[in-house]
């Protein structure tokens, strides 16, 4: 397993995590097999948004004395009144469900403010007591960090800017990122993809990922496979389905992302997901799907690394990524971004202008100019 820093928390998570939703309703032995297979393969990050008692208790039982080996996202506001998943902003209801979660797992690593997708939901959470409740839980040590989940880039950016969250759980995949921000990408999971709406990688979604990196807010990814539709021959929006490895790699190349959470429901599915770790560059390459819309990406780095190898050893995609993040606010480049840039073995200033990268780039990115700009901004 490869591990990445979770924003500015000082903790690290495996780049593949386990979304436990599809274990709900399954017999304990199946839950145990899935959880223990995940643990044995180095997965240390679980999402448990499900509010049902049985599934929580099954997971806790399967973890046993290995609870300390994992970090759990537990969601504040997730309920199952009338035995249906629902969202509540009623404080007594919220407390009842979340305190059962705390009782079941002992503590929660990331207390997630659940499903903040609209300005109205933002107002209910931040002015209706839920955010204050989360902060009290953190002060008491019941939760270690505060996070939130969202599918809306505009509302998510508003939450990040409050400064109280350490992580964001967000729906990221190539299909969603091709939709304009104002389009409800989640509708595609029921209604199908509307490829006529694809306008290139959406600038607002891309800006959200850069904002998170700038603020030290880590991103855990949900909907990596688009509920399975991106890998389905019948439902893919592209000329052919993506592979699981391509979907995972796309998510992991976005700024601030530390883990792609996959909804495995058996040990065998966990083992299959881990194949990404041994996949080669060609198996991970998602650019053929971008090339179907190539005119929309001209001049924009998508961090695919087709420009490599560089004769000076520059990791061009990473330099471009840090450059994009720095340009969010050039007057206040975060020290963490400067530090990440400095830690690279070669820098923009090492560029000799040979142009070999630009010849290989499928999207016409002005790499040489970007390297010059990075040297000017970062000083090396």
Q: Confidence band (pLDDT; 50, 70, 90) for 83?
A: low
Cα 124 from Cα 135, distance rounded (Å) = 15
Q: Confidence band (pLDDT; 50, 70, 90) for 214?
A: very high
Q: Confidence band (pLDDT; 50, 70, 90) for 17?
A: very high
Cα 56 from Cα 122, distance rounded (Å) = 27
Cβ atoms of 251 and 221 within 8 Å: the answer is yes
Cα 121 from Cα 150, distance rounded (Å) = 10
Which one has a higher pLDDT value, 363 or 48? 48
Is the pLDDT at 219 greater than 60, yes or no?
Answer: yes
Is the pLDDT at 253 greater than 80, yes or no?
Answer: yes
Q: Confidence band (pLDDT; 50, 70, 90) for 376?
A: very high
What's this model's pTM, rounded to 2 decimal places? 0.89
Cβ atoms of 214 and 157 within 8 Å: the answer is no
pLDDT of the residue at 329: 84
pLDDT of the residue at 368: 96
Of the candidate ranges 24-28, 228-232, 256-260, the one whose mean pLDDT is the lowest: 228-232
pLDDT of the residue at 121: 96
Average pLDDT, the chain: 93
Which one has a higher pLDDT value, 197 or 252? 252
Q: Which residue has the tokens 């499928």?
A: 362
Q: Confidence band (pLDDT; 50, 70, 90) for 156?
A: very high
pLDDT of the residue at 191: 76
pLDDT of the residue at 84: 67
CA nearest to 73, candidates 164, 165, 158, 169: 169
Tell me the three state secondary structure of residue 293: coil
Long-range contacts for 138-142 (Cβ within 8 Å, ≥24 apart)? 138/111, 141/107, 142/102, 142/107, 142/108, 142/111
Residues 255-307: tens digit of each pLDDT: 999 999 999 999 999 999 999 999 999 999 999 988 777 556 678 888 888 89
Of the candidate ranges 184-188, 198-202, 363-367, the one whose mean pLDDT is the lowest: 184-188
Q: What percent of the chain has pLDDT over 90?
A: 78
Q: Which residue has the tokens 């839980």?
A: 137
């Amino acid at each position: 397993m490869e591990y990445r820093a979770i924003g500015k928390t000082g903790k690290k998570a495996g780049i593949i995590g386990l979304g436990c939703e599809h274990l709900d309703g399954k017999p304990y032995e199946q839950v145990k097999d899935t959880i223990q297979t995940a643990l044995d393969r180095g997965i240390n990050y679980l999402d448990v948004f499900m509010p049902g008692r049985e599934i929580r208790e099954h997971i806790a039982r399967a973890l046993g004395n290995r609870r300390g080996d994992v970090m759990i996202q537990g969601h504040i506001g997730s309920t199952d009144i009338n035995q249906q998943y629902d969202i509540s902003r009623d404080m007594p209801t919220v407390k009842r469900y979340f305190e059962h979660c705390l009782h079941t797992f002992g503590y929660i690593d990331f207390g997630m403010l659940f499903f903040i997708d609209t300005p109205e939901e933002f107002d209910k959470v931040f002015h209706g007591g839920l955010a204050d409740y989360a902060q009290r839980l953190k002060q008491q040590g019941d939760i270690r960090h505060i996070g939130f989940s969202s599918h809306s880039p505009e509302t998510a950016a508003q939450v990040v800017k409050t400064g109280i969250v350490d992580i964001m759980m967000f729906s990221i995949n190539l299909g969603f990122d091709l939709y304009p921000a104002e389009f409800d990408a989640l509708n595609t999971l029921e209604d199908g993809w509307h490829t006529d709406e694809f306008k290139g990688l959406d600038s607002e979604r891309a800006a959200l990922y850069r904002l998170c990196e700038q603020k030290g807010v880590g991103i855990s990814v949900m909907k990596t496979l688009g509920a399975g539709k991106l890998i389905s021959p019948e439902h893919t929006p592209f000329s052919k389905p993506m592979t699981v490895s391509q979907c995972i790699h796309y998510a992991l190349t976005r700024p601030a992302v530390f883990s792609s959470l996959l909804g495995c429901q058996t040990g065998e599915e966990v083992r299959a997901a881990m194949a990404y770790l041994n996949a080669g560059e060609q198996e991970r390459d998602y650019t053929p799907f971008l090339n179907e819309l190539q005119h929309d990406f001209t001049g924009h780095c998508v961090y695919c690394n087709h420009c490599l190898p560089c004769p000076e050893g520059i990791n061009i995609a990473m330099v471009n990524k840090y450059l994009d993040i720095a340009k969010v606010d050039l007057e206040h480049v975060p020290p963490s971004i400067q530090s990440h840039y400095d830690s690279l073995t070669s820098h923009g200033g090492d560029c000799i202008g040979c142009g070999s990268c630009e010849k290989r780039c499928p999207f016409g990115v002005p790499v040489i100019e970007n390297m010059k700009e990075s040297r000017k901004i970062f000083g090396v």
